[in-house]
Structure 1
């Protein structure tokens, strides 16, 4: 289930951040430039905002924005609480400033960041501590920071509807208010109006997990004034948080999550909303109108903001299908975008790449909110962590030349042990396994070369060249069950020794130290200094790098499952998680097909044996270099390619196919 203290779960680069004291020497000159240079001219010459404003004397205030909704049914429009920290000097100078916003349900229940920080308030109800470093760092540089309590949480009216209309409207209404299109008040129940004459309305949203999810949802409305979003480990479709083509990923559902973050007022008045959440999310895994409302991917064509996606490639909380399908939809609509992919699970980049993260985020907001021509949008689109703290870049992502390649499982020397080839297996070739809910992807991978009853594994021989997978894969399986229900899992594995981040450890890939580093200015009630972190490393003999699941009963429709007829074959396609992984020369690539992936999906109501028709089972994998790259890396290691292949000038056989465009891996 959602909600950990660092996340949603229950249960550039050359410009390193300079020491803060070095800014003092530039402050006077920078302040003079700010005062005498018109904003438009400034954008053409200034490449980096400087900390020239006082954080100690910043204005701290609260307003309540009218959402226009009545989620709690009390006959009054819900108001959401908005805590604001903004520099005092620009208003005195008649200058308007942009806004960085984090809309969250966690400000009072669970906290934000690695240290689970909560909002704190003074006797007047104005914010004293704003979680995370955003206000400490950006307010002195001429930004306002706005922390929004989602409806039904902390000091806001209304009810939590977990990614639905009320959640999204909580933040959208604030952007409308910042642009003069909505009303706000100085108190929760009073009539005194509050205006936002201090801002130019240009807003950037940021946040991790549920917070970043709201940024995706608001961007999908196309609201005017939202210039950029930075969703970190964020959901793009709430169905894909709870289910994978009918297979349940978690016990419980949205109602449980809402109950965890609700304010006492919401707990007392939101029973009807809770009931709707339960009714709209049946554990059958069937698609309902509730999921349609919470599917932002379908609305990607409305996005007008730039998008800086950040995700852990081993995120087993918000599975990486969420960023993969969002990225592909944004690419299809020509949205300006950037991406960072780490080896961590559900972790904020502030806790695995702190200096580069702050510097890059600074440049990103300077460009999209202040209009500075600092070149950040012309830098490599993708940063990818290859090994702990070792990063590579790509001009575009997925890289040019990435093409979907059909890879086929073929039978091998023993039952459940086979190979991978570009040619399909002969008709009638099968492999069988029995679902064992006590086993998982790691136990399958550890016994990949053994004939075990709970999985079917297919591997290449040791690769002769590196082979890179970049994007989202699909595995189509034709299987005959012995019972009326069955779940399927498919995983891609890099078989070979490596040192990786310990993404399954308590820190999800990081270790928290005892020293602190400071990022911005501090007050007595809000420190800019945070505990240091380092990579939690683990030596492994194999790495599962992409996975997908499905309920076989959803073979005919992703929206509705049906009971299976024992002895009848069914074909279903599993969507594997988006990733970017290099299987190095000397390692082997493996595809495993099995039943319940313990800890990642729930088991079916029966314990089926499934017979897989290998001739009608295949994986579509986005290799950089396409079939040619796979053929070269596996040259001489598996059966001939067969009829329909053609020889390249170098003599490497490659099936004829249409090469895909970068960033478009939806097939």
Structure 2
């Protein structure tokens, strides 16, 4: 490992990008500590302000093994233009380069060739037909000719990095921050790094933005992040308002720390003089750190303030972000659910340059250009729009060149027709439409008849599995933006109960019980399942109706007594068309959560002073953007 000069005084963290004079640089006040004002006029032509200037075939390709504060040796593959100019770096950190592959093509990193022994192709049995390439995804071919380095880092415990795969532990972020510091201290760096990536990769970008200003050697080195379908707080991946998500808490932790680790063979071979030690270490990790991580997720009762979860929370540090942040997430992502980015977005500093896109799909890759009938993952592909926006963001904040990153609206949402619209602020709701739940299954303004509506939470119950409450048809198109807020009075037979709500948009000729879809189109005939809400009543005193939820210090219910439970839904932004109805289907478990199985008959108390739903009504979105 080469020693790096750690004195950055000779270089500005914010540096003009061009030597060819076509672009204007921004004043220093447009850097990481103050939001850029919205600018008027057309966006700059990126082929003029940040064109291709270097030959990709002549690029410098190298790898580094960087020892971090955690003791791990982290492997980074780097490609950069062959130039004497100082260039910024686009960095992606991933656990998937040797197992599941990256991008919509599922590409692997090719093995690092050793001089004497054949190399392993990784573990393609986990990812199908993905090709093995030097630099997966699109960043290298796009950005290197435009004067950026691209650095792809193997997450600790994966591919050629040592250490244990610890699934969300803070060591992953410490490693990333130390690599950022290392990169900006190279002789070829302009002192700026941007991070991006989807899912786990984007999660590390968020974590690095939280950690860099606190413990990085160069607190302002991370100049931009673009997290895509990413986690803001690991608790919110496995639990929602205290309700346990089965797959994310009981299966996924061991998938990463044990199953994938078993097939993820280090393939640096003799280029790594500690290869044999790293092989032994990785196998030992599975029964130690791996087992501990799985055990940490297993209990259905989790205090979100415990150290296990606190070190896995980046949202708690969002107010310290000094990194311009562009968040991209699917409206119907029921893997990394939207409360992950909703909580994060609402806590970012007001003066931080930021942008939010919510697109009309799920846990998918915005770079996928294919139509759905051709196997594409997105209902309405938007690759060109996405690539241009990523380029503008990185150009403006890594090269300090006016690229129009703040000309478009701060928040944009993709509608049922695939068009993008100015969403205003987010959440955009300005008032609540309060609906009272009735024992007859109605949900209406102005009150409801008294009584109870019961559902079952456990085998000892004789109540139906679920109860559904339906509104009258809407008189006009109505936008709902943000979180539905639930205020329920419940009487349970047992000492705990879970509440799960499926929120549906029901067209005129459909019924709430019909098979629902999560595909939002203008001509849809089936109910649209567009959001969920969950809560474990054990944590009723520490779960708010809306906003960041930190369940802790739970207490049992008093069987047979009235208890008040308030909780929020996932974040959303959709339009309920004229003539459609809203439906709320309430049960003890839905969407992959686990019921408490302890409540017995759970009775929802109805009436004018009883249980209600606060619908976040918002003004119509702005013109097409």
Q: Give the TM bin, normalised by the shorter chain.
A: 0.7 to 0.9
Q: CA deviation at 1:122?
A: 5.1
What's 2:502 paired with?
491
What's 2:617 paired with?
623
What's 1:578 paired with?
571
What's 1:420 paired with?
444
| CA contact 1:475–1:490 (8 Å) conserved in 2 | no
SS of the residue 1:619 aligns to: strand
Give the distance between the partners of 1:536 and 1:459, measured in 2 at CA. 21
**1:456 maps to 2:463:** no
| CA contact 1:476–1:574 (8 Å) conserved in 2 | yes
1:554 to 497, 516, 539: 539
In structure 2, do the counterparts of structure 1 residues 589 and 128 end up closer, same or farther at CA, with 3 Å as the change threshold?
Answer: closer
SS of the residue 1:545 aligns to: strand
SS of the residue 1:479 aligns to: strand
SS of the residue 1:171 aligns to: helix
SS of the residue 2:144 aligns to: helix
| CA contact 1:235–1:241 (8 Å) conserved in 2 | yes
1:267 to 282, 307, 311: 282
SS of the residue 1:541 aligns to: coil
| CA contact 1:416–1:456 (8 Å) conserved in 2 | no
Unpaired runs of at least 5, structure 2:
1-16, 28-43, 120-131, 214-218, 266-278, 369-380, 543-550, 621-625
| CA contact 2:195–2:205 (8 Å) conserved in 1 | yes
What's 1:68 paired with?
69
1:341 to 350, 358, 366: 358
CA deviation map 1:345-370 (0-9, x unaligned): 10011123111111221122111112
SS of the residue 1:100 aligns to: strand
SS of the residue 1:268 aligns to: helix
In structure 2, do the counterparts of structure 1 residues 406 and 289 end up closer, same or farther at CA, with 3 Å as the change threshold?
Answer: farther
Give the distance between the partners of 2:20 and 2:435, measured in 1 at CA. 66
What's 1:285 paired with?
301
Q: CA deviation at 1:416?
A: 4.4
Q: CA deviation at 1:467?
A: 1.0
Q: CA deviation at 1:492?
A: 2.6
| CA contact 2:457–2:588 (8 Å) conserved in 1 | yes
What's 2:372 paired with?
none
Q: CA deviation at 1:395?
A: 4.3
What's 2:435 paired with?
408
Give the distance between the partners of 2:316 and 2:63, measured in 1 at CA. 34
SS of the residue 1:548 aligns to: strand
Q: CA deviation at 1:424?
A: 4.4
| CA contact 1:457–1:591 (8 Å) conserved in 2 | yes
Give the distance between the partners of 1:432 and 1:601, measured in 2 at CA. 19
Of 471-480 and 100-109, deviating more is: 471-480
SS of the residue 1:56 aligns to: helix
In structure 2, do the counterparts of structure 1 residues 339 and 260 end up closer, same or farther at CA, with 3 Å as the change threshold?
Answer: farther
**1:81 maps to 2:75:** yes
In structure 2, do the counterparts of structure 1 residues 457 and 409 end up closer, same or farther at CA, with 3 Å as the change threshold?
Answer: farther
Cα RMSD after superposing both structures:
3.1
User: TM-score, normalised to structure 1's length?
Assistant: 0.71
Q: Count residues in correspondence.
A: 516
Give the distance between the partners of 2:92 and 2:509, measured in 1 at CA. 37
Q: CA deviation at 1:460?
A: 2.6
SS of the residue 2:246 aligns to: coil
2:601 to 609, 613, 623: 609
| CA contact 1:286–1:560 (8 Å) conserved in 2 | no
In structure 2, do the counterparts of structure 1 residues 36 and 345 end up closer, same or farther at CA, with 3 Å as the change threshold?
Answer: closer
What's 1:393 paired with?
422
Q: CA deviation at 1:376?
A: 2.0
Give the distance between the partners of 2:440 and 2:316, measured in 1 at CA. 39
Q: CA deviation at 1:461?
A: 1.7
What's 2:228 paired with?
232
SS of the residue 1:609 aligns to: strand
| CA contact 1:324–1:472 (8 Å) conserved in 2 | no
Give the distance between the partners of 1:416 and 1:455, measured in 2 at CA. 13
**1:132 maps to 2:161:** no
In structure 2, do the counterparts of structure 1 residues 121 and 37 end up closer, same or farther at CA, with 3 Å as the change threshold?
Answer: farther
What's 1:442 paired with?
none
What's 2:202 paired with?
212
Give the distance between the partners of 2:401 and 2:538, measured in 1 at CA. 53
User: TM-score, normalised to structure 2's length?
Assistant: 0.76
What's 1:109 paired with?
99
**1:178 maps to 2:178:** no
Give the distance between the partners of 1:293 and 1:338, measured in 2 at CA. 26
Q: CA deviation at 1:596?
A: 1.4
| CA contact 1:49–1:366 (8 Å) conserved in 2 | yes
Q: CA deviation at 1:579?
A: 0.8
In structure 2, do the counterparts of structure 1 residues 354 and 406 end up closer, same or farther at CA, with 3 Å as the change threshold?
Answer: same
| CA contact 2:457–2:597 (8 Å) conserved in 1 | no
Q: CA deviation at 1:63?
A: 0.3
2:451 to 429, 452, 456: 429
Give the distance between the partners of 2:523 and 2:151, measured in 1 at CA. 39
SS of the residue 1:220 aligns to: helix
In structure 2, do the counterparts of structure 1 residues 536 and 206 end up closer, same or farther at CA, with 3 Å as the change threshold?
Answer: farther
CA deviation map 1:488-538 (0-9, x unaligned): 112332111699xxx999xx97xxxxxxxxxxxxxxxxxxxxxxxxx9999
Give the distance between the partners of 1:395 and 1:570, measured in 2 at CA. 37
Give the distance between the partners of 1:476 and 1:232, measured in 2 at CA. 32
SS of the residue 2:319 aligns to: helix
CA deviation map 1:291-329 (0-9, x unaligned): 111111111111111111111111111111111111111
What's 1:30 paired with?
none
**Greater percentage in strand:** 1
In structure 2, do the counterparts of structure 1 residues 155 and 395 end up closer, same or farther at CA, with 3 Å as the change threshold?
Answer: same
Q: CA deviation at 1:581?
A: 0.5
| CA contact 1:416–1:432 (8 Å) conserved in 2 | no
**1:319 maps to 2:337:** yes
CA deviation map 1:405-461 (0-9, x unaligned): 1513242xxx4411221x3446x5322222489xxxxxxxxxxxxxx9333333332
**1:145 maps to 2:160:** no
| CA contact 2:496–2:557 (8 Å) conserved in 1 | yes
Give the distance between the partners of 2:488 and 2:50, measured in 1 at CA. 54
SS of the residue 2:415 aligns to: strand
2:586 to 573, 585, 593: 593
CA deviation map 1:143-170 (0-9, x unaligned): 1111011111111111122222111112
